[in-house]
Amino acid sequence: MKRFLTDLAKENWADVVGFAPADRFCPDDPIFKLMPQVKTVIGLGFRILRGVYRGIEEGSTYYQYTTMGVETVEETIMPMTALRVSCALEEKGFLALPQRRHQNIMAEENETNPEVAYDSIYRGKTEEIQMNFLDAAVKCGLGEKGLHDALLNDEYGPFIRYCFVLTDAVIAPDEMYAPHLCDKCGKCIKACPGHAISEDGKVDCWRCAVYYNGANGTKNPFMPPDAFENFEDRLEIIAGEAEIPAARAKEILDSIYFYPPAKHTYQASICGRACDIDCYVHLEELGVLKKKYNSPFRKRDKWEFDINDFK
Ligand code: SF4
Ligand code: SF4
The dihedral through the CA atoms of 121, 124, 127, 132 has a sign that is positive
Burial 40-57 (b: 16+ CB within 10 A, else e): bbbbbbbbbebebbbbbb
Q: Note whether 34 and 59 are within 8 A (CB).
A: no
The finding on whether 282 has its CB within 6 A of some atom of ligand 1 is: yes
**pLDDT at site 265:** 79
User: Residue ranges per domain, the chain?
Assistant: 2-167, 187-310
Q: What are 4-35's pLDDT values in tens digits?
A: 999 999 999 999 999 999 999 999 999 999 99
* CA 5–ligand 2 middle distance (angstroms): 35
The answer to whether 85 and 165 have CB atoms below 8 angstroms apart is yes
256-311: per-residue pLDDT in tens? Answer: 988 888 777 789 899 999 999 999 999 999 999 999 999 999 999 999 999 998 88
Q: Please, which pLDDT band fits residue 126 given cuts at 50, 70 and 90?
A: confident
Q: Quick check: CB of 145 below 6 Å from ligand 1? A: no
The predicted model gives 137-153 an average pLDDT of: 97
For residue 298, which amino acid is it? R
Residue with CA nearest ligand 1 atom 4: 188
User: Each residue of 188-231: pLDDT tens digit?
Assistant: 999 999 999 999 999 999 999 999 999 999 999 999 999 999 99
Structure confidence by residue, pLDDT tens digits, 159-197? 999 999 999 999 999 999 999 999 999 999 999 999 999
Whole-angstrom Cα distance, residue 179 to residue 188? 17
Cβ atoms of residues 141 and 60 within 8 Å:
no
Q: What is the mean pLDDT of residues 113-133?
A: 91
Checking phi first, is residue 237 left (phi over 0); if not, alpha (psi -120 to 50) or beta?
A: alpha
Q: Which residue is closest in CA terms to ligand 1's atom 5?
A: 146
- Ligand 2 pocket mutation, candidates 57, 116, 159, 203, criterion most atoms within 8 A of CB: 203
Is any atom of ligand 1 closer than 6 Å to the C-beta of 188? yes
- Ligand 1 contacts CB of residue 148 (under 6 A): yes
